[in-house]
Structure 1
């Protein structure tokens, strides 16, 4: 029996128990529909990639030297709505070159970037044209620690932003900042309409 079948059986038995306990007998049961069921198992990632499907993704290793991505390409590119990217406590290290991006959210809504360190990028975390929550992220030695441009919304919280040229840059977007530690940045927060 698969995990999904066991889970379905447990739910049906619990519903039956509630109905019998209430003095009734269930007359119908909702059938299990594999097409609408969600699989809570996160997808593991071990290298730079594009995430173009909703879900939870977990980085399984540190990435050094930009993962050999081209200068104009991000290491982690997120183009799907409703994505959680969990760095698993790992570091995504760049090459310290211009026009590079550690994690880039491009035109995607409802994205969360969490539990990752990004260092030696032009933009450690870049959000353009979408919305993202950056939580428990460490950005250091980047030109921009977290950069939001013409995004529909953004939150940076519980993060450590240090030794960047610009800690957080918000261009054309209101960004919510809470419980962050800033140190050693040339410009702490840069805002422009």
Structure 2
């Protein structure tokens, strides 16, 4: 029989440290099992984007994705997608918002009297509206990888600040882009134009 003299200083140290090492090892093992690979934020789940398959007003921050082609607003002063909240991301997924060429209709309008900011619109074709995309009282807006075609105006910016249009095809409209005199920091250097009959881009008085 082998006996351990617990009175020895070295053995006392061993008896104290060994259980602590075992406890740490068990804790690490449990954490490893609970965390999935690449998950460095336990308890947080990614939020799925909200599907869009019809014209509607968007009043809550988040990401929205088109799941089909739609449009067809017919009334005067009617709009298909109305964005009146900040922190919105619209992913068109290559789909089309198709209007009927009705006077004062708008494919996508970003507008709120109190102001709207941090809005991105991308990967969508907006066709046959009076105004394809209309920004009003909006700041920090990006339109990219989109198309605005066969409308009276491809993109209008009224009282906007820090607006960027890039890699967006603006063609076969009466006016490509109309920016009012109150708007500032509107970057159109990466916009692409083709066959806009009156002008590719112009400054105007906007809304009175």
Fold match (TM-score > 0.5): yes
**1:173 aligns to what?**
183
Deviation at 1:51, TM superposition (A): 0.6
Deviation at 1:31, TM superposition (A): 8.4
**1:62 aligns to what?**
69
**Structure 1 residue runs of 4 or more that deviate by more than 2 Å after TM superposition:** 37-40
Deviation at 1:65, TM superposition (A): 2.5
Structure of larger gyration radius: 2
SS at match of 2:117: coil
TM (normalized to structure 1)? 0.78
Which of 74, 80, 90 is matched with 1:75 structurally?
A: 80
| Aligned: 1:137 with 2:146 | yes
Contact 1:158 1:178 in 2 (8 A): no
CA RMSD of aligned residues (A): 2.3
* Larger mean Cα displacement after TM superposition, 108-117 or 173-182: 173-182
| Aligned: 1:189 with 2:201 | yes
| Aligned: 1:88 with 2:93 | yes
Contact 2:71 2:80 in 1 (8 A): no
Deviation at 1:154, TM superposition (A): 1.1
* Structure-2 change in CA distance of 1:152 and 1:181 (3 Å): closer
Which of 59, 67, 79 is matched with 1:52 structurally?
A: 59
Q: Tell me, which stretches of 5 or more residues in structure 2 are unaligned?
A: 1-33
SS at match of 1:158: strand
Query: Following superposition of structure 1 onto structure 2, how do residues 15-34 of structure 1 map, counting pairs within 5 Å?
Result: 32=43
CA distance in 1, matches of 2:84, 2:161: 14
Deviation at 1:40, TM superposition (A): 2.9
Deviation at 1:97, TM superposition (A): 1.3
| Aligned: 1:100 with 2:112 | no
TM (normalized to structure 2)? 0.72
| Aligned: 1:10 with 2:15 | no
* Structure-2 change in CA distance of 1:41 and 1:141 (3 Å): same
CA distance in 2, matches of 1:109, 1:31: 31
Q: Tell me, which stretches of 5 or more residues in structure 1 are unaligned?
A: 1-8, 16-29
SS at match of 2:54: coil
SS at match of 1:110: strand
SS at match of 2:94: coil
**1:111 aligns to what?**
119
